[in-house]
Amino acid sequence: MNYPVEEPGDYSRTEPLRLIVPESCSGRRLDQALAELLPQHSRNRLQGWIRDGHVTLDDQPETEPKRKVLGGEVLLLAPPTDPRDLPEQPEDIPLDIVFEDETLIVVNKPAGLVVHPGSGNWNGTLMNAVLHHVPGIEAVPRAGIVHRLDKETSGLMVVAKTLEAQTDLVRQLQARTVRRQYLAVAAGVISKNGGVDTPIGRHPTNRTKMAVVPEHRGGKPALTWYRVLDSFQYCTLIECSLETGRTHQIRVHMASIGHPLVGDPVYGKHNPRLPEFGRQALHATRLGLVHPVSGLKVQWEVPMPQDMRELVDTLRYG
């Protein structure tokens, strides 16, 4: 049988692929050779495919990723059809692009859009949209996405279009020089500005949640500043600034001081005195960083989306 040979950049095939181990891979492990031939797949994914029997070497099944190759062997890869094991696919999903050049894209993510494919959301994500918008970006790990927002959090995100830009942005995030401000509506009346400086880790009993957890039990340092913008009868409009970027940081920190975000289904509680809101009232309104190429400090800002504006108007005017 004649099997197709995968062409560079062709990530849509699900039929068996016929590949030739290059001579340059002589003496290397099978998983290393496959990773060189198929850079769009992670090493862990390829190792799993080998162990699960999806790879043959010179027509013989091979399930050991550490098997050494000589070069010139014929590899036959029959990728599984489970969407969790397939590379992410480009999808024509509209993006609200705030800024774009040859290095960066800054997008205003709407609430409801998942950032990365994952359990229950294998397509229709921001990553799928970026893969369609920027042909070739699949060569950059995670399609250039360097940080994330929760599905129901709206606002600004930056995506790197090159590996060099991604590396630079990751270093900026690690150095805590990327500035991120959020608008949020918190339950209860907050009388003055303040901050929450408590470590965050996985909830000790509910692993799908985060919580304030001591560092000796796995918590990581987290610091959130908040500033009062407007007060209402039963809640407060605040601006939050992040010094760190822990999962659910603002939501966990504000809940920990008795002011969970309005509409938060995980960390909040139902309050009959507050208007119904279908998501956590959180919006990434401002993003500042150093441009990886020009070295200039740049900043973008977007207003609250319509649903949050309507929430605030209801709180302000009744």
CB of 137 within 8 A of CB of 88? no
If asked whether residues 176 and 145 sit together in one domain, one would say: yes
| pLDDT tens per residue across span 152-211 | 999 999 999 998 999 899 899 989 999 999 999 999 999 999 999 999 999 999 978 999
If asked whether residues 122 and 239 sit together in one domain, one would say: yes
| pLDDT tens per residue across span 48-96 | 889 888 899 998 889 999 999 999 999 998 866 555 455 578 999 999 9
| pLDDT tens per residue across span 256-309 | 999 999 999 999 988 888 889 999 999 999 999 999 999 999 999 999 999 999
If asked whether residues 311 and 191 sit together in one domain, one would say: yes
Position 5 in a domain: no
If asked whether residues 71 and 110 sit together in one domain, one would say: no
Position 198 in a domain: yes
Position 157 in a domain: yes
CATH code of the domain in which 64 resides: 3.10.290.10
Cα(7)–Cα(9) distance, rounded to whole angstroms? 6
If asked whether residues 208 and 124 sit together in one domain, one would say: yes
If asked whether residues 48 and 112 sit together in one domain, one would say: no
pLDDT of residue 122: 78
Q: Which domain holds residue 70?
A: 17-80
CB of 37 within 8 A of CB of 77? no
In the chain, the number of structural domains is 2
Q: Which of 58, 59, 101, 150 is catalytic?
A: 150
Residue with the bigger pLDDT between 232 and 81: it is: 232
Q: What are the residues whose beta carbons fall under 8 Å from the beta carbon of 114, sequence distance 6 or more? A: 121, 124, 125, 126, 151
pLDDT of residue 35: 86
The tokens of 146 are what? 């360097």
Could you tell me the pTM of the whole model? 0.75
pLDDT of residue 87: 58
| Residues of the chain by 3-state class (helix, strand, coil), percent to 5 | 25, 25, 50
If asked whether residues 40 and 121 sit together in one domain, one would say: no
| pLDDT tens per residue across span 89-147 | 899 999 999 999 999 999 999 999 999 887 677 789 999 999 999 998 988 878 999 99
Whether residue 150 lies in the annotated active site: yes
